Structure 1
């Protein structure tokens, strides 16, 4: 989930938070805003990106060289 994404259905928000907590606890993950993702991608040398929310609680993130 990208923080600040308002397209998430209220019924799925609790499920998303549970997934987020699982990722943070088991994989030392981090929640990020779209701006934080953009900085991460550009700092890593990518020229562009696109974030597509899918399946309600997930997002497909594409980065381009």
Structure 2
């Protein structure tokens, strides 16, 4: 991306991140996908595990929403 965090049209560039949230003595993991055109969060998932399923479920949700 060469540090170009803007897009000219929807769905051109998505970025993702996972963060952890302390919750009742344990952690929850939040995975989110953001469209750089509209700055909208396209999809997100919360899980007790930071694993491949978390990432793939978030991506599946984004694809279903945006096609």
* TM-score (structure 2 length as normaliser): 0.28
More strand by share: 2
More helix by share: 1
Larger radius of gyration: 2
* TM-score (structure 1 length as normaliser): 0.29
